[in-house]
Amino acid sequence: MTITHNSIKSLREALKPLRAHKTIALVPTMGNLHQGHISLVKLAKQHADIVVVSIFVNPTQFGVGEDLDSYPRTLEADTQKLKEAEADYIFAPTVEEMYPVMPPPTQVLAGNISQMLCGKSRPTHFDGVGIVVTKLFNIVQPDVAVFGKKDYQQLAIIKQLVRDLSFDIQLIGGSIVRAEDGLALSSRNQYLTQEERAKAPELHKAVQDLALKLQNGQASCDSDLESLIEQSIAAINAKGFKVDYLEVKNQDLTPITEFAGKQSWLIAVAAWLGKARLLDNQEVDV
C-alpha cells in the first residue's frame, strides 16, 4: 500500500516507529515520472525495507527564465506508477511546506564543483539542489538515498554534501535508462517536437563515437583531447543541436592531467534541441 503525505510532520510521524527495525530509502524526484524514475524505486527496494519517493518541483533550483511554471506536474499519474512499483510512501509537499520563507535565507553551497559543466549556464541551480536535498535528508533521515547517473554532476555534488555534512546515508547511483533508440529518458523530452524527437538520439551517438575514439587511444595529450572535443561539438551542432557544453573529465569531475596508463574518464554533454535541454554522459575506461 502506497501512502501519500503532504506535511513534514505527518511523514516524520509515520516513519518514526519504523526506524528501530526497518531500513529506509529515499528517492528524490520532481515528478512527471518515467521508467528512469521507476528503475530508481526498484533499485531502492533492493537496498531497503521502506521506500519513500519525494515529488516536489523545487523552485530554488530554477533560474530566471527557466521552465519552473511550465514544468510538468502529474501527481495523479505519478501516484499510480508508484503504487504499481510498490513504493511505500510518497512525500508531496507544497512550496510553503518546504520553504516557510521564500526565498530561503539559508543556503547550502557546493563550491567549485557546482561552477563547472551545468553550473556555467545555470549558476544558481546547484545551490537550490543543495538546500532541497539537505532538507529531504533531514525530513526523511534515510539509510539509503538513490539518484540517477544521468545528472552525474548532481550526484557528485550530493556525494560531497553527504561527506562534508556527515550524513549517515549510503548513496546509490542508478544507471541511465534509455529509450530503444538510445535517448536518455527525461521529463523534459516531452518538450521535443516529433521532428526533434527523431533527431534527439544523435546526441548519444555522438557521445558513443567520442568514447570509441578515446578507448582507441586517440587522445594521448591535451591537444589531441581538445581536438576530439571540438570535432564532436561541431558534429552535434551540425545535426541541429546547440551544444551548451561537452567536456571530458576524470570520473570525480577533476580535469584530465594524465594520459598514460589505465584510467576512467567521463564524457559529459548538455545540448539544446528546440526548447529541450538534453543531458547525457558516458563513463569510459581508457
**pLDDT tens track for 129-186:** 999 999 999 999 999 999 999 999 999 999 999 999 999 999 999 999 999 999 999 9
pLDDT at 252: 94
pLDDT at 184: 97
Task: Share the mean pLDDT of the chain.
Answer: 96
Q: How many CA atoms lie within 13 A of 124 on its CB side?
A: 12
Q: Is the pLDDT of residue 259 over 90?
A: no
The contacts of residue 268 (CB under 8 Å, 6+ apart) are 117, 152, 153, 245, 246, 247, 248, 249, 280, 281
Take residue 161 and report the three cell numbers written for it: 554534501
Closest CA to 15 of 56, 48, 43: 48
User: β-pairing, 264-273 with 242-250?
Assistant: antiparallel
pLDDT at 63: 87
149 carries a ligand binding annotation: yes
Closest CA to 140 of 1, 46, 9: 9
Q: Is 204 a catalytic residue?
A: no
Q: Which residue has the cell 512525500?
A: 91
Q: Given 5, 37, 125, 204, which residue is catalytic?
A: 37
pLDDT at 91: 98
Let me know: does 148 contact 176? Beta carbons within 8 Å: yes
Please compute the mean of the pLDDT values over residues 255-280 and round it to a whole number. 94
135 carries a ligand binding annotation: no
CATH numbers and ranges of domains, the chain: 3-174 (3.40.50.620), 187-285 (3.30.1300.10)
Q: Predicted confidence band at 261 (pLDDT cuts at 50, 70, 90)?
A: confident
Q: Predicted confidence band at 220 (pLDDT cuts at 50, 70, 90)?
A: confident
Q: Model-level pTM?
A: 0.94
Angle at 171 between CA 165 and CA 173, to 5 degrees: 135
Amino acid at position 247, single letter: E
154 carries a ligand binding annotation: yes
CA–CA distance, 190 with 135 (Å, rounded to integer): 29
Take residue 177 and report the three cell numbers written for it: 535508462
pLDDT at 169: 98
Let me know: does 65 contact 71? Beta carbons within 8 Å: no
CA–CA distance, 245 with 225 (Å, rounded to integer): 15
Let me know: does 25 contact 45? Beta carbons within 8 Å: yes
State percent of the chain over pLDDT 90: 94
148 carries a ligand binding annotation: yes
32 carries a ligand binding annotation: yes
